[in-house]
Amino acid sequence: MSSNREQFTAARDALLTKITAFLKDDPRFLAAWLAGSFGRGEQTWVSDLDLHVVVAEAYSEALCAAPWPAGGRTTPERLALFQQFGTPAIIYEAHSNNLVGGTFTHVVYRESGQNIDWMLIPQHKAHQEHQSLLLFAKVGIPEAPEPEPLTREKAVQTASDAVGFFWMIAAGAAKGAKGDMINFHILLSWLKDSIDQVKYAHEFKVPPFRRNRLEICYTQAEQATALRKLCDEMETLMPAVVAFGGYVPAEPCIVVEKLLALFEDQ
């Protein structure tokens, strides 16, 4: 790791230590944890801090107020908190990103370039998250509720829709294999998501959120190989979808191969 990256990582660790100590000593805050890559134990030098903070009921009305659903600003109460740890150079709120319930504020600090996704959660809404790193807890936090299983009808529909969507996107990706590299990889990520949906639907579940799962394919040959690999995987899942009571297109991979051949002949 370069010295600049080492310094950047050290600054992030120092900032987290400072924030944890402050929150732990402040009676307004009852617990805090990290989700995201830190919660999964997969953090790298570039990982940001997805910080969840439980706010005591007596203070939650002020700190967790949401006078707007999204925007490049925050409330005076939250700003005073964020300013304890540096000068916010960038602020953006999108409260729907707080899946537990409460507020979401993305803050980038001018001094270090570190960014923190601050998620403030009223105590009555708080529950533990799967794959999280607990920083402290002054009170017991309820276990995360288990997600409701899909009904059989919903699972069949989800699997069938995911198969159809997959092949629509696969055909588009085949035509884009020698075009916009960024768009091609976006489509590839959608294909992976569709495969996950089919797999989890057979267990009556919704797949968990994932990110950054793609390896970059620079050449046309690499892109075609990656696309074919995903198509092969989906084809192996399709008989189970039919047996499950769903519906799938007939031999859709033929179309993908024809489209890939148009570019491979050049």
**Tens digit of each residue's pLDDT (9 = 90 or more) over 160-205:** 999 999 999 999 999 876 667 888 899 999 999 999 999 999 999 9
Residue 192 maps to a domain:
yes
Residue 145 maps to a domain:
no
Does 61 lie in the same domain as 160?
A: no
Domain-terminating residue out of 84, 107, 137? 137
Provide the 10 A C-beta neighbour count for residue 156. Answer: 18
Domain-terminating residue out of 72, 102, 137? 137
pLDDT of 236 reads 96
What are phi and psi for residue 34, nearest 5 degrees?
-105, 135
Residue 18 maps to a domain:
yes
pLDDT of 25 reads 97
pTM (whole model) above 0.75: no
pLDDT of residue 261 exceeding 80, the answer is yes
pLDDT of 123 reads 96
Residue 129 maps to a domain:
yes
Does 225 lie in the same domain as 190?
A: yes
Q: How confident is the model at residue 99 (pLDDT cuts 50, 70, 90)?
A: confident
Does 242 lie in the same domain as 168?
A: yes
Return the closest-CA partner of residue 193 out of 234, 225, 137: 234
Dist. CA 25–CA 136, nearest whole Å? 11
Residue 204: domain span: 152-264
Residue 143 maps to a domain:
no
CA 124 and chain centroid, separation: 24
Token output for 73: 């600003």
Q: How confident is the model at residue 59 (pLDDT cuts 50, 70, 90)?
A: very high
- Which residue shows structure tokens 């074919």? 228
pLDDT of 168 reads 96
Return the closest-CA partner of residue 131 out of 204, 189, 52: 52
Residue 144 maps to a domain:
no
Dist. CA 260–CA 257, nearest whole Å? 5
Residue 198 maps to a domain:
yes
pLDDT of residue 266 exceeding 60, the answer is no
Which H or E element spans position 117?
strand 115-122
Domain-terminating residue out of 88, 114, 137? 137
**Adjacent-strand bridge partners of 70:** 94
What are phi and psi for residue 257, nearest 5 degrees?
-65, -40
Does 201 lie in the same domain as 123?
A: no
Dist. CA 262–CA 235, nearest whole Å? 22
State the total domains in the chain.
Answer: 2
213-249 core/surface letters (b: 16 or more CB in 10 A; e: else): eeeebeebeebbebbbebbeebeebbeebeeeebebe
CA torsion 168-239-150-102 (nearest 10°) is: -40
pLDDT of 72 reads 96
Residue 74 maps to a domain:
yes
